[in-house]
Amino acid sequence: MKQAWLQQKERGSVTGLVIASWLARILGRRFCRAILHPVCLYFVLFAPAARRASVSYLDRALTLAVGRRARWRHVYRHLYCFASTILDRFYFLVGAMRYFEINKYGLDVLRDTLDRHGACVFLGAHVGSFELLRVGGARNWSLTLNVLMYEDNAQKMQSVLTRFGQGVTLKILPVGGLDTPMRAKACIDKGESIAILADRDLGDGRMIEVPFLGGPANFPAGPFLLAAALKLPVVLALGLYDGGNRYEERFELFSAELELPRGQREQKLKEVVGQYAQRLEYYVRRHPYNWFNFYDFWKKEH
């Protein structure tokens, strides 16, 4: 069965995104951040599913990080962090980087990997801002990045970029199609890299249960099977929000090449997914308000 997030309707519309983007452009970041406060308060009060998911996650993350259970103020801070990264996504896409202080870690590893192989597979997550990494790669390293994502979400974002994006184009690989691996391979053959947010299902529904933040959680097998099939180095990439105007870009070599040998395929796959979950746990314990999966991530699927 598909994960719960797939069954939730996206909030907002193309018109809403365009209006929000227009406001962000005209009014500026400081004013728009002030507007986020009543918006987040509304969600704390009137979005019970998101609130429950936030409490479920924060109880785990804060207990492990600082020995503290979640309270309403922590949920509010969680939602405000999420809203801030959504707002900042617009500024990243239009190149308004003057608003931000961005510290970068692991660039030597990334540059060496790209110099040696020309391309790689980026494993990200719904943690912090992946848009910061995508735009940064395109602007700083002339890196062509194809992001696996659902096409309707990509169309909404592209409609905004058409109006405000100054020539920025989203390169999308639609997920869930039988031809996705072939499309990904065609991108690799052109020297382009692939980016996968590997904490959510790509559409085939196959999940691997591994420990995460003190309990068993289901992670999708698809991103790791695809990464193994592409036979390229795999780089873990996260854009972490530190509050205010501060972000961190984090890159680390996850694997020189994912190998899933016959006879050991299932065991090795579980080990690889477990390794990914361990690295995510390391970062979300350090940045607990950057986790943006607002559904019950630890719920068993039946």
Residue at 223 is within a domain? yes
**What pLDDT is stored for residue 1 in this prediction?**
38
pLDDT (average), residues 18-33: 79
Provide the residue range defining the domain that includes 285: 8-290
As for how many domains the chain has, the answer is: 1
Q: Torsion angle of alpha carbons 76, 78, 82, 85, nearest 10°? A: 110
Spell out the residues 6+ positions from residue 43 whose beta carbon is closer than 8 angstroms to its own. 50, 51, 79
Confidence of residue 302 (pLDDT cuts 50, 70, 90): very low
Query: Could you tell me what percent of the chain has a pLDDT over 70?
Result: 81
Give a yes or no: residue 295 inside a domain.
no
pLDDT of residue 2: 46
Average pLDDT over residues 86-96: 84
Q: How far apart are CA 156 and CA 152, in angstroms?
A: 6
Measured CA to CA in angstroms, residue 268 lies from 14, 161, 237, 254, 261 at distances of 42, 41, 22, 14, 8
pLDDT surpasses 70 at 170: no
Whether the predicted pLDDT of 9 surpasses 50: no
Judged against a pLDDT cut of 60, whether residue 192 lies above it is answered with: yes
Predicted TM-score (pTM) of the model is: 0.89
226 in any annotated domain: yes
To 5 degrees, how large is the angle CA 142–CA 229–CA 149? 55
In a domain? residue 298: no
Asked, for residue 169, whether it belongs to a domain, the answer is yes
- Residue 297 maps to a domain: no
Answer yes or no: is pLDDT of 37 > 70.
yes
Whether 300 is covered by a domain: the verdict is: no
In a domain, 184, yes or no: yes
Per-residue pLDDT, averaged over 185-213, amounts to: 89
